[in-house]
């Protein structure tokens, strides 16, 4: 199955180049339908003129973004040099803490 998701310029380029190998998403209703082996087609937003397709190799839901960032090396997200405090806060610019609580695994 193919799933389409939007990505801003920097993470899009990181995935496209192979530097970013882990994508962060809420484990919401849409993402619960993703299975290992599925394809995700990332669309670069806002212009939506470029896409990159990747195969889902693994799924790992976490209770919180902080738990995830403590478990997975920052290099997998192409954000070396970030701190354990900065990474979740950057994610909260996209997903609220309320949404994180709502969609915990």
Q: Is the pLDDT of residue 105 over 90?
A: no
Cα–Cα dist 59/34, whole Å: 8
Q: For residue 62, how far is the Cα from the chain centroid?
A: 12
pLDDT at site 11? 95
23-81: pLDDT as tens digits? 999 999 999 999 999 999 999 999 989 999 999 999 999 999 999 999 999 999 999 99
Please name the helix (run of DSSP H) or strand (run of DSSP E) that holds residue 16, with its range, or none. Answer: helix 9-17
Whole-prediction pTM: 0.86
**Does pLDDT of 13 surpass 80?**
yes
Q: Identify the CATH homologous superfamily for domain 2-102.
A: Hypothetical protein. (2.30.130.30)
Rounded (to 5) percent helix, strand, coil in the chain: 35, 15, 50
Tell me the domain boundaries of the chain. 2-102
> Is a pLDDT exceeding 80 seen at residue 92?
yes
- pLDDT on residue 104: 82
């Amino acid at each position: 199955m193919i799933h389409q998701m939007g990505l801003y310029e920097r993470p899009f380029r990181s995935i496209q180049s192979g530097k970013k190998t882990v994508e962060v998403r809420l484990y919401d209703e849409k993402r619960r339908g993703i299975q290992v082996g599925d394809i995700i087609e990332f669309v670069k937003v806002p212009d939506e003129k470029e896409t990159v397709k990747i195969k889902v190799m693994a799924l790992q839901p976490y209770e919180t973004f902080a738990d995830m960032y403590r478990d997975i090396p920052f290099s997998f997200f192409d954000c070396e040099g970030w701190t354990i405090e900065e990474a979740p806060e950057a994610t909260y610019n996209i997903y609220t803490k309320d949404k994180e609580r709502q969609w915990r695994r």
